[in-house]
Amino acid sequence: MAAGAALGAVFGEVFAVLHDAVKEVGSKALMFRPILKSLESQLGRLAPLVEDIKRLSEQLELPKVETETLIEHMKKGEKLVRKCSKIRWWNYYFKVYYSTKLQELDKEIVKFCQVDLQVYGTRNALKALLSMNRMLQKVDSVAESLETPRASCAVPGLRDLTVGLEMPIMELKTLLLKEEVQLLLLTAPGGCGKTTLVQKLCQDDQIKGIYKENILFVNVSKTPNVKVIVQKLFDYKHCRPEFLIQSDEQAIEQLPQLLNHIGPNPILLILDDVWLGSESIPEKFKFNIPKYKILVTSRTAFPRFEFTYHLKPLNDVDAMTLFHHSASLHDGSSYIPAEEDVKKIVKGCGGFPLVLQVIGGSLRGEHAVVWKSRLMKWSSGQSFLGSDAKLLGHLESSLEFSDDKVIIKECFLDLGSFPEDQRIPTAILIDMWAELYELDEDGIHAIAHLRELTTRNLASLVMAGKDASEANSYFNDDFVTLHDILRELAMHQSSKEPEEERPRLILNISGNNLSKRWMEKKQKLINARLLSISTDESFSWSWCNIQAPKVEVLVLNFQTQNYTLPEFVEKMDELKVLIVTNYGFFHAEISNFQLLGSLPNFRRIRLEKVSISSLCKTLVPLKSLKKISLFMCNIGKAFENCTIQLSNALPNLIEIRIDYCNDLLELPVGLCDIVLLKKLIITNCHKLSALSQGIGNLVNLEVLRFGSCTDLSELPESMRSLHKLSILDISDCLSISQLPKHIGELCNLKVLNMRGCLRLRNSLPESTVELNQLELVVCDEERAKLWEPIKEFLTKLKVEVAEKDINLNWLPKK
């Protein structure tokens, strides 16, 4: 680069000397005046370009050989021009000779500056453009992953202690790497740690060295969907199929395209949790592609698979280690009985990691009397396992809760109402439990119950990255996962009573296969308070006439692109909460919304991944509805051309939550007429760019959140009317550059979250000093400096700098 700069400087100096010589001699040498004037004019036009060459010579990367040659020509040209002043008018020979030389010099300079430099400039521009495109692709990749939760086929990370896997890893790896093995089955009963072993295997240095970035992890589960699995693989590798996948056959047909796309490096495809009846699926994924292997985990040892590895339970030493880890509080305060008594419990667990963790967690921190009571119930020397049914039976012992904690057991059983291998958003559970068990609206008690279930190893609560806003009871990005066996345990517990008498009824419908009991014309009344119905993509059955007048919470899970609310919903007079979740890959159209208009106690509705463009066409007054939650929905036109005003249709609505709705461009005007609204939460809607001035009409608003609405550039001045507003969250609103001028009129504002508002650099509005109730501001270090002069006037104010938290727990792991 330094050499390029020096070359450019020399080029400029020589050019200047030549230019001066031409101007000087041109005024004296009469017989060369025409050609010298032409050369002077040419050099004059090129002078600005030469200045640019001097200034940008490093970036231009001047061609060294050609430039040095031209410099020599220009030096000789300067001498040539000087000689022209000495040629007499009568010397015709020298006149012709020097004229020819001057013309050649002129052509040489013009060619270099107008042709050669353009070529090299174009080359450098293309190089810069290529570099920029690569950078933008990286930025787009990150932005796309943050914009919506996308399907991931990465191997899930380990979260707890693992023991006794060194030998199984070595044996499994040796078998997997044999040349003749293309499909390998890893089998063991449920809860033995098959998935954990695979996770550890993928952390092995040799495996990572061979397969690098080409390890693909897919959870197949009990009700597999080949089409969705293949689409996830394409999505994970940022590759588009040649045509829209509409069937399993088309999915398998296009899969080699993806596998060839990510080659030629070796590929390892992991199909986790393949159930009996689905053993043909791994064989569909087999292709004659070099260095491509499939590793399958299953509870069943399928005889049709040639190569199988059987994972054995933990030995006594490793089982003791894992049990002690699960039963200890890790602060030395846990009561642990005598070693012999612990051995009895561990022996009963049969070396199954899941059972050891669950039983150990259920005894963690308990009194000696509780341990003794459990020991009396568990006969020494009797294995907890012999089959999955026995596992479920013995796991019931972990559901022994004291009388004051029975509600936690009920919460655990409710988790079985959701489909297998799916994350359960805490926002759903908060809505359900607020109505079923009269828990607080903000979810504090619900999260506390989930934390206890996590402590007992009955569920896994995954919290998104938090800053000080956690104190404000906002758990929208958190979710719960449930191990398959624990889900079966919850369902097993819920199914002990006859269907008509169960407090919660869970129906999982595969295809159109439903028991004859539900097809009968005359049906008995169902007394359940919670009804969960899950259907797959092949469901096309007309809803039967279910009689469930006491249902308070209805959970509908489906995978089809068109879904009709069941007619029997119209007769659920006690219905308070409706959860509609589409687990399919594409958005779904929902019909029959009008059925909800007849429900006198209907208070909450949550829709996930549905298109509700026709909502206003069928909107009927929902006089009892208090809360609407829309997650990953298409709602861009949902509130347009309504036949009834939203304020009349939703007269008692007090909360709206809109999350990851990427077609929302501006705040619907109609929403601003719902004057009773107390909470308006719009987060992760990256295309939302404008807010209506009508937002000032929401005079009862107490909570206003626009977290991660990255295109939102300003807050309307009409917000000055929101005198009841106590929480304002504009965190990660990257385009907001200033706060409203009259923000000081928000006389009840207590919390302001402005973390990640990177464009907000100017001084705060003068009216900020009037926020006398402001107690907490969450921001980054640069924004904290803006509040320093304000703190002198606001004695209650605490400015908390949020730590940078790069946390991708919310991204799908499957």
DSSP string, 507-561: EEEBTTB--GGGT-SS-PPP--SEEEEEE-TT--PPPP----TT--EEEEEE--S
| Residues contacting 523, CB < 8 A, separation 6+ | 517, 544, 545, 546, 547
Residue 225 half-sphere exposure toward CB, CA atoms < 13 A: 22
pLDDT band per the 50, 70, 90 thresholds, residue 638:
confident
* Residue with more model confidence, 569 or 521: 569
pLDDT tens by residue, 681-709: 999 999 999 898 999 999 999 999 999 99
User: Lowest-confidence range among 142-146, 352-356, 506-510, 668-672?
Assistant: 142-146
**Residue in 293, 347, 287, 294 with CA at minimum distance from that of residue 323:** 347
pLDDT band per the 50, 70, 90 thresholds, residue 496:
confident
**DSSP bridge partners of 272:** 219
Q: How is 475-504 classified by DSSP, letter by letter?
A: -TT-EEE--HHHHHHHHHHHTSS-GGG-SE
pLDDT at site 518: 66
In this structure, is the dihedral angle defined by the CA atoms of residues 706, 712, 713 and 719, taken in order, positive or negative? negative
Angle (nearest 5°) at CA 458 between 379 and 388: 55
- From the candidate CATH numbers 3.40.50.1370, 3.80.10.10, 2.102.10.10, 3.40.50.10470, the one assigned to the domain spanning 698-707+716-814: 3.80.10.10
pLDDT at site 276: 79
* Mean pLDDT of the region 113-131: 49
User: Lowest-confidence range among 131-135, 146-150, 336-340, 642-646?
Assistant: 146-150
* Mean pLDDT of the region 732-753: 94
CB atoms within 10 A of CB 521: 6
Burial state string for 78-114 with b = 16 or more CB within 10 A and e = fewer than 16:
bebbeebeebeeeeeeebeebbebbeebbeebeebbe
pLDDT band per the 50, 70, 90 thresholds, residue 471:
very low
What 3-state class would DSSP assign to 397? Answer: helix
Query: What DSSP element (H or E) covers 581?
Result: strand 577-582
**Residue 761 pLDDT > 80, yes or no?**
yes
pLDDT at site 148: 40
- From the candidate CATH numbers 3.90.1690, 1.10.760, 1.10.20, 1.10.8, the one assigned to the domain spanning 314-400: 1.10.8
**Residue 122 pLDDT > 50, yes or no?**
no
Percent residues over pLDDT 70 in the chain: 74
pLDDT at site 145: 41
What 3-state class would DSSP assign to 269? Answer: strand
pLDDT band per the 50, 70, 90 thresholds, residue 382:
very low
Angle (nearest 5°) at CA 370 between 368 and 373: 110
* Mean pLDDT of the region 434-452: 90
- d(CA 293, CA 308) in angstroms, rounded, equals 14
Tell me the CA distances in angstroms from 285 to 117, 175, 325, 343, 621, one per residue in order.
55, 20, 39, 44, 51
Average pLDDT value over all residues in the chain: 80
- Answer whether 219's CB lies under 8 Å from 134's CB: no
Q: Which segment, 3-17, 338-352, 705-719, is predicted with the most confidence on average?
A: 705-719
Helices H, strands E: what count in the chain?
24, 24
Q: Supply 2's token pair.
A: 């330094």
* Global pTM value: 0.66
**Domain extent listing, the chain:** 2-133, 166-310, 314-400, 698-707+716-814
Residue reference for tokens 């879904």: 563
pLDDT band per the 50, 70, 90 thresholds, residue 200:
very high
Q: How is 19-77 classified by DSSP, letter by letter?
A: HHHHHHHHTT-GGGHHHHHHHHHHHHHHHHHHHHHHHHHHHHT--HHHHHHHHHHHHHH
Burial state string for 13-49 with b = 16 or more CB within 10 A and e = fewer than 16:
ebbbebbebbbebbeebebbeebbeebbebbeebeee
Which CATH code for domain 166-310? 3.40.50.300
pLDDT band per the 50, 70, 90 thresholds, residue 600:
very high
pLDDT tens by residue, 164-195: 999 999 999 999 999 999 999 998 877 888 99
In this structure, is the dihedral angle defined by the CA atoms of residues 714, 717, 719 and 723, taken in order, positive or negative? positive
User: Lowest-confidence range among 34-48, 431-445, 533-547?
Assistant: 34-48
Residue reference for tokens 């005079």: 699
Q: Which segment, 120-129, 501-510, 598-607, is predicted with the most confidence on average?
A: 598-607
**Residue 391 pLDDT > 70, yes or no?**
no
- d(CA 364, CA 358) in angstroms, rounded, equals 10
- d(CA 548, CA 504) in angstroms, rounded, equals 11
pLDDT at site 54: 57
Burial state string for 144-166 with b = 16 or more CB within 10 A and e = fewer than 16:
eebbebebbbebbeeeeebbbbe
pLDDT at site 697: 94
pLDDT band per the 50, 70, 90 thresholds, residue 562:
confident
* Mean pLDDT of the region 352-377: 82
CB atoms within 10 A of CB 405: 13
Residue 440 identity (one-letter amino acid): D
pLDDT band per the 50, 70, 90 thresholds, residue 631:
very high
pLDDT tens by residue, 255-300: 888 887 776 789 899 999 888 788 888 998 888 888 899 999 988 8
pLDDT tens by residue, 216-262: 899 887 778 888 888 888 888 777 776 677 788 888 888 888 887 77
Q: Supply 43's token pair.
A: 């050099």
- Answer whether 284's CB lies under 8 Å from 260's CB: no
- d(CA 598, CA 314) in angstroms, rounded, equals 57
**Residue in 430, 469, 464, 473 with CA at minimum distance from that of residue 450:** 430
Residue 634 DSSP label: B
Do the domains at 314-400 and 698-707+716-814 have one common CATH topology? no
What 3-state class would DSSP assign to 626? Answer: coil
